Chains A and B, each alone.
Chain A
């Protein structure tokens, strides 16, 4: 409590720190928004809630980190992780997800949770349980007498996330496959009647999501760090974002992603980094409670 009050005092005494936290939050929020978009995509199109989302991110992060360890610029990990995770996503789709799409939601949730456990333990066996981060050897700019520091990696991460997000959105809007995905999300049966093969659309959507996560992971390892068991935290974070925004609401998902980034920066500053996970989960419960209250209002109108 003492600690918290001191931190609030610091924030009010030096408002420029607020700005620093805000900028950091927005730079990181772009990454969250991108991964949350992938989650919302699979959720909306296939009605599968992917609990392995965070572990895909971690896998992508470790791919970029391995590049960095072998003396290659880890930024190249972004496209590489995109491609590799596309493959992993495709394999997982064919082995597991394909069989649970038509079943109830808890089945798919549990199946993806099983995948998450497999992935995090595999990462743990290969890379060990230590926290890792890749160094891109890029400068950090200081503003306002060093109170605001913007690392070039964060800026690049932000830019790449924005570019990737624009590419995905354009793809979904204009390409044939993107249209097929959106059609299937709207009405799977009608899409089928019009000659779209849902099976192909599902495989593509799931692989695309895994690939996005891979790229996100490569960015995460640059601006932050990866650890085999951090995946679940990411999954929950993304669930918070998507639940807060609503599945079909793309601008909402992106806004909530930025909100999450900013919230975490401030929360981490005020409460200390050890409460980070707890804060995310409390936010989840808060968002869910808010949704219940919304529904309750709706239910009263029905009564």
Chain B
């Protein structure tokens, strides 16, 4: 049994007992699992494939809205449901809720994957920073388009169907869903990175031209990788939308400056291109954020910006990268030159 398996078992045990050990924090821990999903899926492209996306939040928000439309649309007229002038009282029965939710989750995963493939057709022609800007544009456009789409309630958002059951049951239900999603994502990615597919992603990261010259169908690989990372994001969007009970385009579904940038920051903090880096980064970031956020009183986003700048400028290798560099006997599983996902830039001037 190697270390990765042990760590996964440890996470499983911790995840299972956490809501009973710390019942008052179970929502925060549930969001932590969400953050782990965010960070690990971002790392599929950002760390393993070398394509730094600033727009992965699109799949989260898309999943949220797809599931909302499915859940509501199965039983009611969506436009009527979301319109402000709605007068009829709407109830979802137990069976209706769970059927709708299950179908919504599946639709969210599939929809997000399809969206990723479609977006990939346009965006994967872009390299490096152009890709980052293109995806950032995609995220902003998605928020703006949904915010002016009256069918889904435009900027005022949608109230999700109410969970049939007490608040305690609801908390545990969504906790275990997000936990299962995070664990499933990690197990899946661990397997994925060990396959030929994972090697192909690393080949694209290290030298795309060469990979292509070696006969890899890089375009298909890139689109498929993005679709794979979009599936957990879409599902997490569906779950999170139901967990919060209310979704709106700018703050919850497509928050470009919060969740979207958290993804990148958590991965950079933990260490790019590793399986555990994003997890460590997500846990650390989330704990720090939850503990300190309330003390900042409006300064929290400035602190966030500063944290980005400081991490990027002074601590680029991340925690796992730092550990492998300084304690290669304990943590160094990979040769050193593989650590940095990016080629050393050749700009001779400044030292």
**A residues lining the B interface (CB < 8 Å):** 47, 49, 51, 96, 98-107, 109-111, 113-119, 121-122, 124-125, 184, 188-189, 191-192, 198-199, 202, 232-233, 236, 239, 243, 274-275, 277-278, 281-282, 284-285, 288-289, 291-292, 295-296
Q: Kindly list chain B residues whose C-beta atoms are within 8 Å of the C-beta of A115.
A: 305, 309
Q: Which of A110, A118, A284, A288 contacts B264 (CB 8 A)?
A: A110
When chains A and B are docked, how far (Å) is the Cα of A134 from the Cα of B144? 27
Q: Which of A113, A198, A282 contacts B350 (CB 8 A)?
A: A198
Which residue of chain B lies nearest to A98 when distances are taken between CB atoms in the complex? Answer: B350
| A49–B129 touching, CB < 8 Å | yes
When chains A and B are docked, how far (Å) is the Cα of A192 from the Cα of B349? 7
Q: How far is the CB of B341 from chain A (nearest CB, A)?
A: 9
Q: Which of B137, B147, B257, B314 contacts A281 (CB 8 A)?
A: B137
Name the 7 nearest CB pairs between A and B, nearest first.
A292-B125, A114-B308, A117-B305, A118-B305, A198-B349, A281-B141, A114-B309
Q: How far is the CB of B137 from chain A (nearest CB, A)?
A: 4
When chains A and B are docked, how far (Å) is the Cα of A274 from the Cα of B149? 11
Q: How far is the CB of B120 from chain A (nearest CB, A)?
A: 12
Flag whether B326 is at the interface (Cβ < 8 A): no
Flag whether B13 is at the interface (Cβ < 8 A): no
| B312–A114 touching, CB < 8 Å | yes
List CB contacts (< 8 Å) of B294-317 with chain A. 298-299, 301-302, 304-309, 312-314, 316
**B residues lining the A interface (CB < 8 Å):** 52, 54, 122-123, 125-126, 128-130, 132-134, 136-138, 140-141, 144-145, 147-148, 256-257, 261, 264, 268, 298-299, 301-302, 304-309, 312-314, 316, 342-343, 345, 347-351
When chains A and B are docked, how far (Å) is the Cα of A288 from the Cα of B305? 28
Which residue of chain A lies nearest to B341 when distances are taken between CB atoms in the complex? Answer: A104
When chains A and B are docked, how far (Å) is the Cα of A291 from the Cα of B301? 35
Q: Kindly list chain B residues whose C-beta atoms are within 8 Å of the C-beta of A51.
A: 133
Which residue of chain A lies nearest to B302 when distances are taken between CB atoms in the complex? Answer: A121
Q: Which of A100, A102, A125, A292 contacts B298 (CB 8 A)?
A: A125
| B302–A111 touching, CB < 8 Å | no
Beyond A100-B313, A115-B305, A275-B148, 4 extra complex contacts between A and B, CB < 8 Å: A104-B342, A105-B345, A114-B307, A122-B302
| B345–A236 touching, CB < 8 Å | no
Q: Kindly list chain B residues whose C-beta atoms are within 8 Å of the C-beta of A49.
A: 129, 133
- The interface centre, meaning the residue of A101, A111, A116 with most chain B CB atoms within 10 A of its CB, is A111
Q: Kindly list chain B residues whose C-beta atoms are within 8 Å of the C-beta of A292.
A: 122, 125-126
| A106–B261 touching, CB < 8 Å | no
When chains A and B are docked, how far (Å) is the Cα of A274 from the Cα of B268? 35
When chains A and B are docked, how far (Å) is the Cα of A189 from the Cα of B348? 6
| A106–B52 touching, CB < 8 Å | yes
Which residue of chain A lies nearest to B212 when distances are taken between CB atoms in the complex? Answer: A299
| B308–A110 touching, CB < 8 Å | yes
Which residue of chain A lies nearest to B145 when distances are taken between CB atoms in the complex? Answer: A278
| B134–A288 touching, CB < 8 Å | yes
Q: List 14 A-B contacts (CB under 8 A).
A: A103-B345, A106-B52, A106-B342, A109-B129, A114-B307, A118-B309, A122-B302, A202-B350, A236-B133, A236-B137, A243-B130, A274-B147, A281-B141, A284-B134
When chains A and B are docked, how far (Å) is the Cα of A116 from the Cα of B133? 14
Known: A104-B342, A117-B301, A121-B301. A281 touches B138 (CB 8 A): yes
Chain B's interface: helix, strand, loop or mixed, by majority? helix
Q: Which of A114, A202, A232 contacts B140 (CB 8 A)?
A: A232
When chains A and B are docked, how far (Å) is the Cα of A233 from the Cα of B302? 19
Q: Which of B144, B313, B343 contacts A275 (CB 8 A)?
A: B144
Which residue of chain A lies nearest to B346 when distances are taken between CB atoms in the complex? Answer: A102
Known: A104-B342, A104-B343, A118-B302. A111 touches B350 (CB 8 A): no
Q: Kindly list chain A residues whose C-beta atoms are within 8 Å of the C-beta of B126.
A: 288, 292
Q: Kindly list chain B residues whose C-beta atoms are within 8 Å of the C-beta of A233.
A: 140
Known: A117-B257, A117-B305, A118-B306. A47 touches B140 (CB 8 A): no
| B347–A102 touching, CB < 8 Å | yes
Q: Which of B148, B307, B308, B316 contacts A103 (CB 8 A)?
A: B316
Which residue of chain B lies nearest to A199 when distances are taken between CB atoms in the complex? Answer: B350
Q: Kindly list chain B residues whose C-beta atoms are within 8 Å of the C-beta of A105.
A: 128-129, 345
Q: How far is the CB of B320 from chain A (nearest CB, A)?
A: 18
When chains A and B are docked, how far (Å) is the Cα of A111 from the Cα of B313? 7
Q: How far is the CB of A47 from chain B (nearest CB, A)?
A: 7
Which residue of chain B lies nearest to A239 when distances are taken between CB atoms in the complex? Answer: B133
| B299–A285 touching, CB < 8 Å | no
Q: Which of A102, A239, A278 contacts B345 (CB 8 A)?
A: A102
- The interface centre, meaning the residue of B147, B313, B342, B351 with most chain A CB atoms within 10 A of its CB, is B313
Q: How far is the CB of A41 from chain B (nearest CB, A)?
A: 16
| B132–A285 touching, CB < 8 Å | no
Q: Kindly list chain B residues whose C-beta atoms are within 8 Å of the C-beta of A291.
A: 125
Q: How far is the CB of A136 from chain B (nearest CB, A)?
A: 30
When chains A and B are docked, how far (Å) is the Cα of A220 from the Cα of B339? 45
Known: A117-B305, A121-B301, A236-B140. A106 touches B128 (CB 8 A): yes
Which residue of chain A lies nearest to B344 when distances are taken between CB atoms in the complex? Answer: A104
When chains A and B are docked, how far (Å) is the Cα of A124 from the Cα of B300? 12
| A285–B348 touching, CB < 8 Å | no
When chains A and B are docked, how far (Å) is the Cα of A51 from the Cα of B309? 13
